[in-house]
Chains A and B, each alone.
Chain A
Amino acid sequence: MSRWLALAPEAALVLTGLLIFAALLGEGPGRTRRARRAAFAGGALLLAACLATLGRNAEFFWATYRVDAFSQLVKTAVALGFLIAAFIVRDGAGQREDSRAEVFFFLLTSTGGLIALASAVELLSLYLALEIASFSLFVLVPLRDGFDLGREAAIKFLVVGLASSAVTLFGLSLVVGFTGTTRLDAIAAQLPALNAQPAAVFGFALFLAGLLFKLAIFPFHFWAPDVYQGASHGVAAFVATASKVGAIAVLARLLTAAELNGAHLVLALAVMAAVSMTLGNLVAIVQRDVKRMLAYSAVAQAGYVAVGLVAFTREGMTAAIFYALMYLLMNAAAFLVVARVGADGSNPTLDDLKGLHRRSPLLAATLLLALFALAGVPPTAGFTGKWFLFTAAMGQGWWLLVLLAALNSTVSVYYYLVAVKYAYLLPDERDRGPLPLTLGDRALCYALSGAVVVLGVFPTPLYDLAARAARMLP
C-alpha cells in the first residue's frame, strides 16, 4: 500500500484541479482571486508532495509509469515552475476579461501533462503526456486581451505544434514497427541491433522532434518568438520555465535510451546546437520587445543545453538536467520583472525599462542578476551550469562546439547588457512613478536572486541530486 504513496504528487495534482475547478464555479468579481488562492494552495501541496517523494522508487500500471529520483526531481521543478507562473499571473492582467480565472486551470492541466511526461517510460504514454502539456497551452495563448499578435501566435503555435505532433506520431509508428514494443527499456535494448536500419534511426529521430519542438531548438523554434510575445506574461513564463524543464528532462531520458545509437543522432544534434545558439543570439540583438528578446535568447539557450546533450554521457545528461533547473530559476526571475514592469498586461519594450533602477531598485537588481545568469556570467548559476555543460561536451572532444558556444556567450552578453543599460543607465523621460510591488513580489525577487547566486557559488547539493537523477535513466 505504501507503494502508492509514491503517487502523492499525482494525487495532489488531481486535488488541485478539483480545488481550482470549484473556485471557477462561482461568479462575481472574486472569481479570479479564489482561483488564484486555490492554485497557490494546491501548487504548494503539489510541491511538498514532490519533495516528499524525492527518494522513492516504484513502478505502476504495468511498468509504464515509473517513479524514481529522476522523475521526482523533474516533477519538483515543474511544480515550482507552476507556482511561480501562477504567481506571475497575479490578477490575470493581459488575459481576456472572461478568462482570467481559467488561466490557472489550464496552467495546471499543462503541469499535469509535464508531470506525467517525467514518469512515462513507454512511448504512447509519453506521447499522450506531451500532448496534454501542449494542448493546454494551445488554449491559453489565444486568450490574450487586446493584442492581435496573440491570435497570430496562437495559430502559429497550433499549426507548428500539430505538425510536430504528426511527425512524432509517424516516428513512433516506425519505431514500434521495427521493435514491436512501445517500452523504452525494450527499445533501448534493441536499438544497437537496429543501427544498420536507417528507417529505425530515422523513426527515433522523428519521435524526438516532438520534444525538440517543446525545447524550441532550431529548426523547431519558429513558434517561440511569437508565443512568448503573444501570450500573457504568466503563460509565457510557464512556457519558458516549466515546459522547458520537462522537455529537456525527457530528451535526456530518450537520448540516454539511444545512447548506443548515438553516432547517427549526435551529429544532427550538434548541428542544431550550433545553429540554434548562433541564430538565437544574433536575432535577439535586434529585438525591442523584451519578451521577444527572451524568446530568441531561449532559442540560444536550447542550443547550449544541446551542447551538453551531444556529449551522450552521464555527465552530459547531469549537466543538462542541472542547467534546466537553473534555467527555470533565472528565466522565472526575468519574467517576474517583465510582468511587473508591464503590470497592465502589455509587453514591455526596452524603452519601458528606462529608469527602472529608480522606479524599483529591487526589480532592476533582479533583472540584472537574471540576465547575467542567462549570459552565463559568474557568480550566478548560469556560469556554473554552462561550465558543466561545456565540460561534458569537451570530454567527448567537441572542442569546436564548445568554442562556438563560448563565443556565443559573448555575443549574448551584448544584448543582455543593452537591456541592463536601459534599466540602469537611461533616465525615464516619461517620469513614471515608482513601481508598486507586493510583499510576495519582493519575497520572490529575493528568493530567486538569492537562489541564482547561491547555486552559482555552491551548486554541489543540487548537482548531486541531478547526478542521482541521471543515474536513473533511461
Chain B
Amino acid sequence: MTGLPLLTILLLVPVTGLAAMLLTPARYPGAIRRIAAFTGVAAALVVAVLWKSFDPATPGFQFVENVPWIPAFGISWHNGVDGINLPLLALTAIVYLTGVLVMWELKERVKEYFAFMTLLVIGVFGVFMTLDLFFFVFYYEVAVLPMYLLIAIWGSTRKEYGAMKLTLYLLVGTALVVPAALALYWGAGMGTFDLTRLATAHYPRPFQQLVYPFLFVGFGILAGMWPLHTWSPVGHVAAPTAVSMLHAGVLMKLGAYGILRVAMPLLPAGAHYWATVTATLATVNIVYGAFVALSQTDLKYVIGYSSVSHMGIVLLGLSTLSEAGINGAVFQMFSHGVMTALFFAAVGYVYDRLHTRDIGKLGGLSHTMPVASAFFIIAALTGAGVPGFSSFWAELLVFLGALKTFPVLAIIVIGALTITLAYSIRVIVLTFFGEPREAHPAVPDIPPFLALPRAILVGFLLLFGFMPHLILDVIRPATHLLVRGLS
C-alpha cells in the first residue's frame, strides 16, 4: 500500500482535466479532445493502481483519507475504498474513457461538451469514494446537474423535454434525501456527518422505519425504481451517445450505491422492515421493464427499458439483505454498467451513420456492418444473461439470494427472464438479420479507432464472464461485513 492520497489524486485528475479544458480556447477542439482522453487514461491508471494495491483480505476501508473540513458541523474530507465501491470506481473510469473515445467525432461545441462531461464524472467519482454524508449529497448533485445541459444541447428526440424531466425527477430524489440526511445527523447526536461513525449510532426503530423510505425512494429514483422510472428511458433516448453511456452505465448506479452505502448500513432495522416492499417494487421493475422493452420500436427505448429491468435486479439483490444477493447486486451494477455502455455505444454508431434508430426501418445490418453489429449483439446477449458474459454470474447470485428470502418473487423474476431473452432476440433478429426494410445509403463498417472503446467494453464483459472470481473476491469480504452489520 502506498502512502499517497490516491483517492484525492483520483478526484484531482478530472478536476485538473476540467481546468485544462476550460483554459484551452474553444477554437482548438482537437486539443480539448486530447485533454479529455488523457484525463480518462490518467483516471483509469489511478484506478488500476488502486485495484492492484487493494488487499481484499483486509476488512474495512483502505486508502483512507480523513481530514476535518468544516469542523463546526463535523464534516470531514473522508474517503475510503472497500470491495463495494472499488468496482464502481473502476466502472466510472472505464465508461468515462470509452465515452470520450466514442464521442471523438463530435463537431459541435466540443469544449463545453467535454467540460460538462468531465464535471459529471468528478461528481460520480466523488460519490463513489466519499465516506461523509455531506460530501455524498454534494457530489451526488454535482453529477446530476450537468446532465441537463449535456442532454439538452447535444441530444436528439425531444431533448429539452427529456432533459428537464430527468433533472426534475432526480432533484425530487435529492429533495427527499437531504432532509433524511439531516435527520440522520441530528438523530445520531454525534455531531458528525461521517458515515462510518453514523453507522455505529443505533437509531430508534420508529425513526429507522420513518427515514428509510425517504432514502430508499430518494436514491431509488436515480436507480430507476418503478413507478418513478419514467425519466430514465426518455432521458436515455434524448441523450447523446456517451451521455447515455455514462447515464445508464454509471449514474443510475449512484442511486443503488446510495441505498447500499447510506440507507442500509445506517438504518438496518428500516431496511428489514421495508424489505418486502422494496423487493416487490424491484420485481415490478424487472417484469414491467422487460415487457415494455418487448414492444419498443426505437432501439434506444429498448435499451432504456432494459436498464429499468436490469436495475430492478440490483434493487432486488439489495432487498434480500443477504450476502449472495448483495454480492450479486454489486456485481450486477458493474456488469450492467459496462453492458449498457456497450449497448449505447453500439447504437450510437448506427444512429450516427444511418440517422435512424427505428427498428422498423433497419434490418440486415450485420451484412453491411458486421463488426458494429457484433458489438450490439454481444451487449444484448449479456443483457439476456447468457453464460460467458459477466451478467450471468451477477444475476445468478441475485436469484440465489432471492430464492432464499423471497421465493415467490424470485420465481416470478426467473420467469421474466424469458421475456428478457425474447426482447433481446427480437431486437437482434429484426435489426441485424434478414433484409433491410428501407433503403439506406451504403455505410462503411466501424473504423478501428471507433471500435477500440467498444472492444474495451467487450473485453471486460468477457473477462469477468469467464473469471468472475476476479471481481467477486474483491466484493465478497465487504458485503460480508455489511451483512453482518445488518443483522
Contacts and interface: CB of A to CB of B under 8 A. Distances in A.
A391 B185 CA distance: 8
A232 to B, nearest CB: 31
Contacts of A459: 70
A254 to B, nearest CB: 24
Interface string A446-467: 0000000000001110011001
Nearest to B140: A378
A269 B301 CA distance: 48
Contact of B171 (A395, A402, A413, A458): A413
Interface stretch (B46-54, B173-181, B362-370, B410-418): B173-181
B152 A425 contact: yes
A407 interface: yes
B179 A406 contact: yes
A462 B139 CA distance: 21
A342 interface: no
Contacts of B148: 417, 420
B153 A425 contact: yes
A116 interface: no
Interface residues of B, number: 34
B171 A409 contact: yes
A361 interface: yes
Interface stretch (B33-41, B160-168, B472-480): B160-168
Contacts of A410: 168, 171-172, 174-175
Nearest to B159: A425
Contacts of B112: 357, 424
Interface residues of A, number: 36
Interface string A33-52: 00000000000000000000
Residue of B134, B138, B172, B185 with most chain A CB atoms under a 10 A cut-off? B138
B145 A377 contact: yes
Nearest to B70: A460
B466 interface: no
Interface string A393-413: 011000100110011011001
B142 A406 contact: no
Interface stretch (A23-31, A193-201, A382-390): A382-390
A220 interface: no
A407 B164 CA distance: 16
Contact of A463 (B72, B160, B168, B171): B72
A406 B69 CA distance: 24
A424 B71 contact: no
Interface in B78-105: none
B169 to A, nearest CB: 9
A467 B70 CA distance: 12
Contact of B141 (A378, A390, A403, A425): A378
Interface in A416-474: 417, 420-421, 424-425, 458-460, 463-464, 467
A137 B93 CA distance: 54
A107 to B, nearest CB: 34
B73 A391 contact: yes
Contacts of A421: 152, 160
A402 B182 contact: yes
Contact of A424 (B139, B149, B171, B175): B149
A406 B178 contact: yes
Given A387-B134, A425-B152, A417 B179 contact: no
A379 interface: yes
A13 B73 CA distance: 37
A323 interface: no
B164 A417 contact: yes
A424 B153 contact: yes
Contacts of B171: 409-410, 413
Interface string B206-237: 00000000000000000000000000000000
B152 A377 contact: no
Nearest to A394: B182
Contacts of B139: 378
- 3 closest A-B pairs (Cβ-Cβ)? A394-B182, A406-B175, A410-B171
22 contacts: A357-B109, A378-B137, A387-B178, A388-B73, A391-B73, A394-B179, A394-B182, A394-B183, A394-B185, A406-B174, A407-B172, A409-B171, A409-B175, A410-B168, A414-B164, A420-B148, A420-B149, A424-B152, A425-B153, A459-B70, A460-B69, A463-B70
Given A377-B141, A383-B141, A460-B72, 4 more contacts: A394-B186, A403-B179, A406-B175, A409-B175
